[in-house]
Amino acid sequence: MAKVVIKECDSYRIEEVTTAINQGMDHIGGWDAFVKPGMTVLLKINLITPRGPESAAITHTEFVRAITRILREKGCTVWIGDSSGGAIAGTAPTARSFIVSGLKQMAEEEGAIIKNFDLEGVEAVQVDNPFVSEMYLAKPVFQADLVINLPKLKTHSAAMFTGAVKNIFGLVPGLKKADYHRVAPSPTDFGHVIASIHQVTDIGLHIMDGIVAMQGEGPTAGTPYPANKILISTDPLALDTIAVAMMGLGIDDVPILAVARDKGLGKSRPTELSLLGDYETPPRFKGFRLPRYIRRLRLPSYGFVSAALRFLKTRPQINLEICRHCNMCVESCPVHVIDKATKQIDYTQCIECMCCHELCEHQAVELRKDYRLAEIMLKLYGARKR
Ligand code: SF4
Ligand code: SF4
C-alpha cells in the first residue's frame, strides 16, 4: 500500500507552507523517519528554464525555502540542485535560472548550497531500455545521504503531465538531455528513459508544489492555476496518480506514467493507494485546462481522413512577431531542424519532441490553432490516444 498525503495550502507564505508540509509529513512517520542531524540532503527542484516563481513553471522559491529551513533546523546540510533545459551559445541556462528564480539568493539567506548539475560532474550508469544503454547523471544525486524530489504540478504539451516521475529527468546535465530526446522522441519511448533513471537512483521522498499549478500548454507556456495543494509520498507513481486524478485524468492518459506502472516503479491501482491528509478521495480541479495534446493520437487508417488529421495535428510554429531571436530553440532542437535565419521548421525532419515550445522563454513557439477541427474529426472517425 502506497501512502499519498494531500494537504491544502493556499499561499506561499512560509509559515503556511511549513505548517502544511510538517503536518503532511506526520502522516508518513514524520521528518525524523527520513533525516538525522549531520545528513546531506539534496533537494531536486524543477528549474526548467530561467523564469520567476510567479510563472508557475518552476518549483516556487518560497516552497523550497520552507523545506530548506526545516532541514537546516534539523541539522542537515542542504543542497539545491537541477539542470535547466535548452542551450544558448552552447551551454545550458542553469546558472541564470538559479539567479532569475531567486533561488540563488534564497540559498544564501538560508545557508543552503546551490548545485548546478551542469558543473558538478557526472556518473556513468548502465541502464536497461531499448533506446540507451548508458546514461550520464549528475554526481550529487549519488553523493547526498537523502534525495528529496520537489516537482511542480504542471501540464505538459507533449507528455500531458509532468510531476514526480518526470521531474527526475533534470538529473541529466546540460545538453545531454537533447540526446535522450532524440533517441526516444515519443512520450512512451521517453517514458522508458525516465523509468531507467528511477531504477538507478534512490529518491527517498517526493513533495509536490501544487499550490499554484500550471494549466494549458505547460510545462512553461501555460498559465498559473491556484490548485492550493501539496502532495507528499515516498512513491512517485502513486503521487502522480493522485495528481492526475485531480486533473481529471488516469495514468493511461499520461504515457510516461503508464510506462512507469508497467516497469513496476510504484503503485497506481486504487486498491494499492492510501490517501491521507485533508482528503479521502482526490478532489477534482474545477475549470482546469488540459493541454491540446492532439499530436499524440493514434490515427485511423482511412485514407484522406488520416492524411487530413496528420495535417491538422499540433505542431510547433514560431511567431516571428514575438520571437526575440535568442536562438534557444535553434540550439536546443535535438535534430537541428529550425533554420537560424528564418526560424522556419523543417516538418519533414521534426520529431515532435516540443522542446522548442518548452524552452522558449518568450512563448514565441506556438502550437497550431486548428486542433478543434482535428478533435471533431477524431471523434467522428474513432482515433484513440496512445
Ligand atoms: S522562438 Fe523563442 S527560443 Fe526561438 S529564437 Fe525566438 S525567442 Fe528564442
Ligand atoms: S522543431 Fe521543435 S518539436 Fe521539432 S524536433 Fe526541433 S525542438 Fe523538437
For ligand 2, pick from 351, 358, 359, 367 the residue to mutate: most ligand atoms within 8 Å of CB.
351
Q: Give residue 235's pLDDT.
A: 98
- What pLDDT does residue 367 have? 81
Contacts of 195 (CB under 8 A, 6+ apart): 129, 259, 260, 263, 265
User: Are the C-beta atoms of residues 359 and 306 closer than 8 Å to each other?
Assistant: no
What pLDDT, on a 0 to 100 scale, did the predictor assign at position 373? 63
Res 199 pLDDT > 50: yes
Q: Which residue carries 516521475 as its cell?
A: 165
Report CA-CA distances (Å) from 207 to 44, 172, 197, 233, 340: 10, 20, 18, 7, 40
193 vs 125: CA distance, rounded Å = 12
Is residue 276 scored above 70 in pLDDT?
yes
CATH number of the 2-277 domain:
3.40.50.11440
> For atom 4 of ligand 2, which residue has the closest CA?
350
> If you take atom 2 of ligand 2, which residue's CA is the nearest one?
356
Neighbours of 128 (CB within 10 A): 12
Please tell me the predicted confidence (pLDDT) of residue 310. Answer: 54
Computed over every residue of the chain, the mean pLDDT equals: 91
Inter-residue contact 101 to 52 (CB < 8 Å) = yes
Looking from the CA of residue 363, the nearest atom of ligand 1 is: 2
Give Cα separations from 271 to 138, 267, 275 (angstroms).
36, 9, 11
Same fold, 2-277 and 294-385: no
Quick: pLDDT tens for 98-154.
Answer: 999 999 999 999 999 999 999 999 999 999 999 999 999 999 999 999 999 999 999
Q: Which of 106-120, 172-186, 361-375 has the lowest mean pLDDT?
A: 361-375
Q: Is the CB of 178 under 6 A from ligand 2?
A: no
Q: Report the alpha-carbon distance of residue 45 to residue 58 in Å, rounded.
A: 8
Task: Give the number of whichever ligand sits closest to the CA of residue 359.
Answer: 1
Task: Return the pLDDT at 252.
Answer: 94
List, for residues 289-301, the tens digit of each pLDDT value. Answer: 999 764 444 444 4
Domain spans in the chain, listed from the N-terminal domain onward: 2-277, 294-385
| Per-residue H/E/C for the chain | CEEEEEEECCCCCHHHHHHHHHHHHHCCCCHHHCCCCCCEEEEEECCCCCCCHHHCCCCCHHHHHHHHHHHHHCCCEEEEEECCCCCECCECCHHHHHHHCCHHHHHHHHCCEEEECCCCCEEEEECCCCCCCEEEEECHHHHCCEEEEECEEEEECCCEEECCCHHHHHHCCCCHHHHHHHHCCCHHHHHHHHHHHHHHCCCCEEEEEEEEEEECCCCCCCEEECCCEEEEECCHHHHHHHHHHHCCCCHHHCHHHHHHHHCCCCCCCHHHEEEEECCCCCCCCCCCCCCCCHHHEECCCCHHHHHHHHHHCCCEEECCCCCCCCCHHHHHCCCCCECCCCCCECCCCCCCCCHHHHHCCCCCEEECCCHHHHHHHHHHHCCEEC
The predicted structure's pLDDT at residue 177? 93
Q: Taking the CA atoms of 25, 28, 30 and 31 in sequence, report the sign of the dihedral they define.
A: negative
Mutate to test the pocket of ligand 1, among 323, 330, 343, 354 (most ligand atoms within 8 A of CB): 323
- Binning pLDDT at 50, 70 and 90, where does residue 96 land? very high
Least confident among 38-42, 156-160, 354-358, 367-371:
367-371
Cα gap 162→151, rounded to integer Å: 8
Q: What is the pLDDT of residue 307?
A: 57
pLDDT value of position 253: 93
Nearest to 383 by CA among 295, 289, 320: 295
pLDDT of residue 294: 47
Whether 345 is in the pocket of ligand 2, judged by its Cβ within 6 Å, is yes
Band of pLDDT at residue 354, cut at 50, 70 and 90: confident
Among the atoms of ligand 2, which is closest to the Cα of residue 352?
A: 3
Q: At residue 385, does pLDDT exceed 50?
A: no
Ligand 2 pocket mutation, candidates 329, 331, 355, criterion most atoms within 8 A of CB? 355
Is 53's pLDDT higher than 60? yes
Predicted structure pTM score: 0.90
Contact status, residue 93 vs residue 117, Cβ threshold 8 Å: no
Average pLDDT rounded to a whole number, residues 227-252: 97
Question: Between 61-73 and 103-110, two packed helices, what is the crossing angle to 10 degrees?
Answer: 20
Task: Give the number of whichever ligand sits closest to the CA of residue 330.
Answer: 1
User: Residue 10: what pLDDT?
Assistant: 97
Residue 333 CB–ligand 2 contact under 6 Å: yes
User: Phi/psi of residue 273, each to 5°?
Assistant: -110, 135
CATH architecture of 294-385: 2-Layer Sandwich (3.30)
Residues 281-336: tens digit of each pLDDT: 999 999 999 997 644 444 444 555 555 555 556 689 999 999 999 999 999 999 99
Q: Does the pLDDT at position 186 exceed 70?
A: yes
